[in-house]
Amino acid sequence: MTEPTSSPGSPAPQPRGAGEPPISENADPRLIDTTTGQAHGHDDCPRCGSTEVSRKGNTMSLICGFCRYEWVGMRLEEAHGLGEGIGDLAGRVMTSGATDITSADTLITIKCTGCGSEVVVDTERTLEARCHWCRSILSINDKIPNGAVPDGILPFHVTKQDAMARIGEFAGKRTFFALKKFREEFKADNVLGVYLPYMTVDGNVNARLHGQGEVLTRKYTVQTGKNSRTTYYDADVYDVVRDFDLHIDDLIVESSATRSNIDNRSNTNNIINSLLPFDVKNMVAFDSNYLGEASAEKRDLNIDDVARKAHSQFLTMARESIRDDITGYDRGVRWTHEEMDVHGSRWASLFLPIWLYSYAETQDDGQVMVHYIAVNGRHGNVMGSVPINKSRLWGVTLLSTALAAAVMWPMAFLVTVAA
């Protein structure tokens, strides 16, 4: 390979090694007040003050049960300018609901004695709830300290009937390899609606990437034996440096420790990650009237707990943003050093809607594996897992291998003889 002079770009700095965490913003945090005057996030009717408020069907509207007045919740991003000025962000900016976890009066958290999950309940509406992970009945006596009330909520758009149909279709396509017990016990109507806690973050970022790119100049094949040939490639190698600003809008980050820390040995809740994205631009200011019959899971991670993960995703987005800019290196670019400065970030917390079906499988070793099928409550994407009949799976695999061998081995023998 030849090594010509470096490609356009300033000399490489002494950057941080690839894979090391990007640096974070250093300025003191600033607060955006998103509170509505109600400590528990529950707004009364703006016309008559009644608390008999509910969501109107599957719409974004709320309706007063006393005076029948209808209104739509305040669009959070428009009300507080959360989609503006990303390029001017300096230091950390956070909304009221994204501050460190506190306690709340009427929105309490109950710990499930069945599976250990923590579920948020609005005690102004009910003193009883059902766990959305294992469907156990929850008792208010198991109350634990609550997380902060979120800034926004994205109400369900997909109905329960639609979610049941989607879950039934998903499971139906996988019944051949599913356990017989699962096929007999599966009931799509056991689906539960749940709001899961997330944070959105905007980022004003500068990235600097340094690596080597290759441009193919010649390809040729050489006879290296009686029946063998070797292909060689000649390429020019260039130093590649890219230094640029990047404005990131509404990156979604999990703020539940249990869902963020994936443990595939006991459950398949990692499927929740596959349901992104959500149309968070449409979220409204949090009002527990939107919760309806759905349960909610508390946020138990603060910004400092999720910032490293968010910054890592910033860096991934930076790499992807310049993909079209390096297409001239037809053999690719290998990044060797990466740097990122987060000049500023803006954080908000919200609830996102999920329809959830769970099934507990007792495995041969006595361990319980909980399988989940989940539906995005906004656009209906489905992801999940079902317990597998391993004997049937291995049987089909071995049969397929044997059939393939029966076909390919004679063909390979004939080719060898002909050569």
Beta strand residue intervals within 160-269, DSSP E: 192-223, 229-254
Compute and round to an integer the Cα radius of gyration of the chain. 27
Predicted local confidence at residue 103, as pLDDT: 56
Name the 3-class secondary structure at 161: helix
pTM for this predicted structure: 0.76
Predicted local confidence at residue 132, as pLDDT: 67
Percent of the chain with pLDDT over 70: 75
- Render the burial of 226-257: b for 16+ CB within 10 Å, e for the rest: eeeeeeeeebbbbbbbbeeebebbbbbbbbbe
Output the six-digit token pair for 238.
């260039």
- The domain limits of the chain are 30-34+74-388, 390-419
Output the six-digit token pair for 405.
């061998």
Where is average pLDDT lowest: 58-62, 81-85, 120-124, 174-178? 120-124
Dihedral sign computed on CA atoms, order 82, 83, 85, 90: positive
Name which residue leads in pLDDT, 324 or 116.
Answer: 324
Residue 392: exposed, middle, or buried by beta-carbon count in 10 A (0-12, 13-18, 19+)? middle
pLDDT beyond 60 at 366: yes
pLDDT beyond 50 at 20: no
Q: Cβ distance 54 to 65 under 8 Å?
A: yes
